[in-house]
């Protein structure tokens, strides 16, 4: 497996790589992966040592899916706020901490909660936790989320493998070049943290040398749904007899739920799911050359002609119930 090349240097307002776009490092300061990794090593030295023999599985736990975190044995908790350069979470159902421990006897690192664009964060800030996990060279990355079901064949509680996606976070298609003006926030591309795999042939770059200097880690033309991990998930669903679909996901900023008109538009575009996260972390990990799998829990149906009022409490409740199915998928991948 080709592993990510990680920037070990401090990203600060004076760093030439940051340029004028840094805007002083953002409200949470500079982010140094080497310093963050050292902190994890001090907090969980035995876990770090175990990872040298068996690379961990990295997991992102979305809204209401924090119950899976309780199944991690001998966990060491490292709150985001204790790591310089990382923001704390504010959304309900997101604990905002790394958990380093074991699941089914295998080392895992979990993001118990994530950061969102609707909390006022830039894409750089949102992806910093994933950049840190990528630096640990995990053998698999599982990104989970809660999502609204646009496909009328779905039911609340179903799991969906995300095999296609599009991002409209901050109103930018595919994040653009992160030129949106978010006052006081860093506009660094995650490519400042992760220099990933060769540029896909269909990227339009005139030369690989030019592409490597211009292609950001959050723009990736390769697959983000690893075939081997997807096969394990499908086999698990058949064994445990639960519904598992494959579908496309649209990321929007939120935090409000979609109107009926917006649901019609999104469905007419061909999307099966809509949510407010996932794509930045998924693309960064894929761009770093890591096997990735994104799984959405359908927490509410966003079907305009059969409207159901969505509430965050309902989302958390459905996510908690479906978390048992997600747990079986994660455990199957951890032991493979």
> Which class is 5-142+174-240+277-294+311-334 in CATH?
alpha beta
pLDDT the model gives residue 312: 66
Contact 115, 63 (CB under 8 A): no
The H or E element that residue 227 is part of is: helix 227-240
- The candidate with the shortest Cα–Cα distance to 63, out of 101, 105, 100, 118, is 118
| Domain spans of the chain, in order of start | 5-142+174-240+277-294+311-334
State which H helix or E strand residue 211 sits in.
helix 208-214
| Contact by Cβ (8 Å): 314, 63 | no
- Are 323 and 299 spatial neighbours (Cβ–Cβ below 8 Å)? no
What pLDDT score does 310 carry? 61
Residue 47 is predicted with a pLDDT of 96
Main-chain dihedrals φ then ψ at residue 186, nearest 5 degrees: -65, 135
Q: Which of 60, 57, 194 is nearest to 139 (CA)?
A: 57
Q: How many CA atoms lie within 13 A of 117 on its CB side?
A: 24
Using a cut of 0.95, tell me whether the model's pTM lies above it: no
Task: List the structure tokens of 294.
Answer: 């994104």
pLDDT at 306: 66
pLDDT of residue 307: 58
DSSP code of residue 89 = P
10-residue mean pLDDT profile of the chain (336 residues): values are: 36 29 45 92 96 95 76 93 86 78 95 86 90 95 93 93 92 57 37 46 45 44 88 96 96 88 94 94 92 93 72 70 86 92
| Helix axis angle, 45-53 to 33-43, nearest 10° | 110
Taking the C-alpha atoms of residue 246 and residue 266, their distance in angstroms, rounded to an integer, is: 17
247, β-bridge pairs: 162
């Amino acid at each position: 497996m080709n592993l990510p090349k990680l920037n070990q240097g401090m990203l600060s307002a004076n760093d030439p790589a940051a340029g004028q776009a840094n805007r002083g490092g953002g409200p949470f300061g500079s982010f140094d992966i080497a310093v963050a990794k050292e902190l994890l090593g001090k907090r969980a030295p035995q876990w770090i040592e175990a990872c040298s023999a068996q690379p961990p599985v990295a997991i992102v736990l979305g809204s209401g899916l924090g119950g899976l975190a309780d199944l991690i044995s001998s966990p060491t908790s490292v709150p985001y706020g204790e790591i310089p350069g990382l923001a704390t979470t504010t959304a309900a159902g997101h604990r905002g901490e790394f958990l380093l421990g074991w699941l089914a006897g295998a080392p895992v690192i979990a993001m118990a909660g994530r950061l969102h664009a609707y909390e006022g964060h830039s894409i750089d800030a949102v992806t910093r936790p994933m950049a840190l996990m990528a630096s640990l060279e995990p053998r698999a990355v599982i990104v989970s989320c809660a999502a609204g079901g646009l496909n009328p064949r779905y039911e609340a509680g179903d799991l969906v493998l995300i095999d296609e996606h599009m991002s409209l976070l901050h109103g930018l298609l595919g994040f653009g070049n992160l030129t949106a003006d978010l006052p006081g926030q860093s506009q660094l591309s995650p490519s400042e943290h992760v220099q990933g795999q060769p540029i896909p042939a269909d990227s339009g770059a005139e030369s690989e040398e030019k592409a490597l200097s211009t292609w950001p880690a959050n723009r990736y033309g390769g697959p983000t749904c690893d075939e081997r991990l997807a096969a394990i998930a499908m086999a698990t669903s058949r064994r445990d007899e639960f519904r598992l679909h494959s579908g496309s996901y649209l990321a929007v900023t939120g935090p409000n739920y979609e109107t009926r008109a917006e649901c019609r538009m999104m469905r007419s575009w061909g999307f099966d799911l809509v949510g407010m996260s996932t794509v930045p972390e998924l693309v960064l990990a894929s761009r770093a050359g890591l096997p990735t799998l994104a799984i959405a829990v359908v927490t509410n149906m966003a079907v305009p002609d059969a409207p159901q009022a969505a509430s965050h409490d309902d989302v958390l409740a459905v996510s908690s119930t479906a978390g048992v199915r997600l747990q079986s998928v994660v455990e199957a991948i951890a032991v493979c």
